[in-house]
Structure 1
Amino acid sequence: MELDAQSLLFALLIALPAAFAIGWVASRMDLRQWKRTDREAPKAYFKGLNLLLNEQPDKAIDAFIEAVQHDPDTSELHFALGNLFRRRGEFERAVRVHEHLLQRADLARSDRERAQYALAQDFMKAGLFDRAEAAFAALEGTPFETESRLARLGLHERSRDWAGAADVAGRLEKAGAGSFATRIAHYLCEQALEADARGDAASAESLLTQAQAAAPQSARPWVQRAERLARSGDAAGALAVYLGLAQRNPEAFARVSGDAVACAQTAGQLPALRDTLQRLYEQQPGIDLLRALARADGQPPGQSPRLPSLLREQPSLSAAIDLLDTPAAQWPESGQTTVREAVARAARPLQRYRCAACGFESQRHFWQCPGCLGWDTFPPQRIEEL
């Protein structure tokens, strides 16, 4: 019995130092492995960064893949790799990288939200708009909420989902992301057009009322309402809307002033409208108002006594065309000079040479483009001759 105890004690005395030695060797080996991995991962990372700065994305991707293999738990490397894939148009690989990040249970909340936003961008760039919409919607209540809502707004516009666009724009405005009143008015006007197309006049009228309330200075709801009234035969009602637009947005009214004259003629209210046209023309003369005034006076625009002075002040091709439509014998004394000035002014931007490689424009012809330094990239013809 005493011999067995001595044998056991002897074995323990031998085993303990051996176990310590084995543990020490294993720890040293593990430490060396850790140090080697730690050296290799940053080396691969900085190699990829250097290649990226040198505009070699293909080699940079290879380097980042190597870095991820050495340190698969580093989320920043995954983000860098996914963004590179997306920039190169390799959307499927970018999606896989970001989905792999989202599957990690140990991922921090901030990194998870960031990965979700990156995944939504992948879907957006790949043209998978339904999946992008769902991915962006998942970011409600996160720091990426505003960016995701703006992206969803673009998606709704692209798919012509005007109701959805109006809803998102309203939430953006309430969140303090800026004023979206004008855009909301356009969305409501688009819905009004759809309502008219399906014969729902009551809904169309209600939507236009909402659009005017959302953006009182926006021209489109007023113009669209006036056009609806004119189509329905209510010329007097349409004229009243046009006159309301003239008070709120005179510049926008000038573009549709000819339509207002047509309504005034039908409604027998031309004198009242003519006074408004004359007042607006004196404040800000333009070819649209001149044509409307000429129509109200029952004469061709080319015979309007206002045309020569307008041509001198604004030598535009539109005004010159109106004068050319009039027999030369009826031209004012300065007619030929003003027409020439108008044509010369309109032709000036076209009397230039344009580089076929980079689009650089110049009044001179160059053998070597000052923009891209290419040789013989300027065609011998000017822009107007191409």
Structure 2
Amino acid sequence: MEFDFQWLLLGLPLAFGLGWLASRLDLRQWRREQQSSPKAYFKGLNLLLNEQQDKAIDAFIEAVQHDPDTSDLHFALGNLFRRRGEYERAVRVHEHLLGRGDLPRAERERAQYALAQDFLKAGLFDRAEAAYRSLESTAFATEARLALLTLYERSRDWPAAIETATRLEATGAGSFAQRIAHYHCELAQEAEARGDTDAAEQALTRARQAAPQAARPIVMIGERLARQGRHDEALAAWAELMAVQPAAFGLVAPSYAISARAAGLVDEARTRLESLYAQAPSAELLKARLELASDGIERRRLLVEHLERLASITAAASLVDESLRQDSVLERAELLSVQKAIAAAARPLQRYRCAACGFEAQHYFWQCPGCQGWDSYPPRHIDEL
């Protein structure tokens, strides 16, 4: 049978027309889908910027329904749920993402990290730890270890915190020496509480090795030696603290004075305390100097000198107490020092405070400059409320 070329001439235009029509229909459908999804997305973004989170969530859900394969919309929706405290819904969104077989590796790691954040915010620490640990050897490894470090600190799992901080430092995430020293000090405190003195001493030694310049291990070593009656060694430890962390010495200054008196090294201690006090006077250094003062007259002199340098209400109260203890009246210079300290302490209280927002002002306002409320200022100073 011979082939009729007329049919071919008729079929070609027909096939072309059907193909064109099908492509136009598919193109229109694709355009409608693409237009509806961004429209819902931008609507949700606008609502979110206007602090209308409920409506924003509805808009994002609509966008996800129009384009369920768009992972960015899922992440936005999950983050919104987490910010609102709806952790269960956030978990479902991110678990749905992880359940998709076509999700690229980078997006899968991102979803795993978001899921770990959901668990942490929800207080599901065991599941959060497992989720963060699964991010080892991924782009989120450093962020996961930092989150784990915070998690271990909250749960007071100091050995795990030490291991994690050490790994972070080894990977170049920064210096964690100070924090590692704190973790060992926490272990030392726990050992002391259960009576394990050897473990406490070992933990403090490791703390010093981790951060030789850290103040806390030296403070704790000196306090431990003082409790054991080894005052000479305690003074030596605290002398090192004076050299490496003089600003932190105030934490142990009164104890230093007590140990110096017990060890019979009062004169040496007074010289050191006077030197530190001349550089940076403080209430704790003053307290230590008062502990080593020879008599009440010297204590009153030290208090007056301190009040001349710093208008401290604590020092003023101590001067009054010293006067009562000696059953003597304050001299004029002492009274002036006390008056100066009281005036300085009272000055911040001689203000008006808005009962609505807490805005403080020296002058009385009928309308609060902070919250714009009317008659929100009680007509009394703060010290009278």
Q: Normalising by structure 2, what TM-score?
A: 0.89
> For residue 368 of structure 1, what is the aligned residue in structure 2?
367
User: Percent identity over the alignment?
Assistant: 59
**In 2: Cα distance, 1:147 partner to 1:376 partner:** 50
1:348-376 deviation line (CA, Å, top 9, x unaligned): 22222333333322222222221222233
User: 1:122 is matched with which residue: 111, 118, 121?
Assistant: 118
User: 1:189 is matched with which residue: 178, 185, 191?
Assistant: 185
> For residue 278 of structure 2, what is the aligned residue in structure 1?
282
Report the 3-state secondary structure (helix = DSSP H, G, I; strand = E; otherwise coil) of the residue aligned with 2:364. Answer: coil
- Are 2:68 and 1:72 equivalent residues in the alignment? yes
**Contact 1:302-1:325 within 8 A present in 2 as well:** no
- Are 2:347 and 1:348 equivalent residues in the alignment? yes
- Are 2:204 and 1:208 equivalent residues in the alignment? yes
- Are 2:55 and 1:56 equivalent residues in the alignment? no
> For residue 267 of structure 2, what is the aligned residue in structure 1?
271
**In 2: Cα distance, 1:355 partner to 1:183 partner:** 41
Report the 3-state secondary structure (helix = DSSP H, G, I; strand = E; otherwise coil) of the residue aligned with 2:332. Answer: coil
> For residue 333 of structure 2, what is the aligned residue in structure 1?
334
Shift of 1:14: 10
**In 2: Cα distance, 1:300 partner to 1:292 partner:** 14
Change (3 A) 1:136 1:261: same
**Contact 2:300-2:319 within 8 A present in 1 as well:** no
Shift of 1:77: 0.9
1:135-181 deviation line (CA, Å, top 9, x unaligned): 22222222322222222111111111112222222222223332222
**In 2: Cα distance, 1:304 partner to 1:214 partner:** 44
- CA RMSD, 1 decimal: 2.7
User: 1:297 is matched with which residue: 259, 270, 293?
Assistant: 293
Structure 1 window deviating more from structure 2 (244-253 vs 293-302): it is 293-302
Structure 1 window deviating more from structure 2 (264-273 vs 178-187): it is 264-273
- Are 2:316 and 1:317 equivalent residues in the alignment? no
- Are 2:143 and 1:144 equivalent residues in the alignment? no
Structure 1 window deviating more from structure 2 (275-284 vs 187-196): it is 275-284
Which letter maps to 1:312?
E
Could you list the runs of 5+ residues in structure 2 that have no partner in the other structure? Answer: none
**In 1: Cα distance, 2:125 partner to 2:374 partner:** 43
Change (3 A) 1:133 1:247: same
Shift of 1:96: 0.8
> For residue 82 of structure 1, what is the aligned residue in structure 2?
78
Which letter maps to 1:250?
P
1:219-267 deviation line (CA, Å, top 9, x unaligned): 2111211221222222222222222222222222233221112222222
**In 2: Cα distance, 1:113 partner to 1:300 partner:** 70
- Are 2:39 and 1:43 equivalent residues in the alignment? yes
Report the 3-state secondary structure (helix = DSSP H, G, I; strand = E; otherwise coil) of the residue aligned with 1:141. Answer: coil
Which letter maps to 2:369?
P
Which letter maps to 1:147?
E
Report the 3-state secondary structure (helix = DSSP H, G, I; strand = E; otherwise coil) of the residue aligned with 1:370. Answer: coil
Shift of 1:302: 7.7
Show the 5 A alignment for 1:149-160: 149-160=145-156
**In 1: Cα distance, 2:356 partner to 2:128 partner:** 36
- Are 2:238 and 1:242 equivalent residues in the alignment? yes
Could you list the runs of 5+ residues in structure 1 that have no partner in the other structure? Answer: none
* Count, aligned residues: 382
Structure 1 window deviating more from structure 2 (68-77 vs 376-385): it is 376-385
**In 1: Cα distance, 2:35 partner to 2:278 partner:** 78
> For residue 251 of structure 1, what is the aligned residue in structure 2?
247
> For residue 107 of structure 1, what is the aligned residue in structure 2?
103
**Contact 1:294-1:301 within 8 A present in 2 as well:** no
> For residue 172 of structure 1, what is the aligned residue in structure 2?
168
Which letter maps to 1:56?
Q
Report the 3-state secondary structure (helix = DSSP H, G, I; strand = E; otherwise coil) of the residue aligned with 1:334. Answer: helix
> For residue 96 of structure 1, what is the aligned residue in structure 2?
92
**Contact 1:98-1:115 within 8 A present in 2 as well:** yes
